[in-house]
Amino acid sequence: MNLTKISFALCFMIATQALATPTPQASSIVYHCGFNEVTGKAQTCPSGYRCCGPISATLGGTCFAGLTGACPL
């Protein structure tokens, strides 16, 4: 009887932890644009984004959502 309760409790704890795991959000992805000196290739922003920067000479600029508007500092 105790083994059944322990098994049920263990299964319940595993299930609740699996459901509580957060999913990654798409907004956490950072796109870079401009010429990348590390790879030696030009990078462009995805559709619907604009290039702001460069933030560094080796990394290039950062893509932000929207086709127009001021770039954040």
Confirm whether 21 is domain-assigned.
Answer: no
- The whole-angstrom separation of Cα 38 and Cα 72 is 25
Confirm whether 6 is domain-assigned.
Answer: no
Q: In what order do the strands lie in the sheet with 60-65?
A: 41-43, 32-36, 60-65, 49-56
pTM assigned to the model: 0.50
Confirm whether 42 is domain-assigned.
Answer: yes
pLDDT one digit per residue (tens) for the chain, 73 residues: 677 888 888 878 787 777 776 766 666 788 888 876 777 778 888 899 988 887 666 667 888 888 888 887 6
pLDDT at 43: 82
pLDDT at 53: 80
DSSP annotation of 59? T
Confirm whether 3 is domain-assigned.
Answer: no
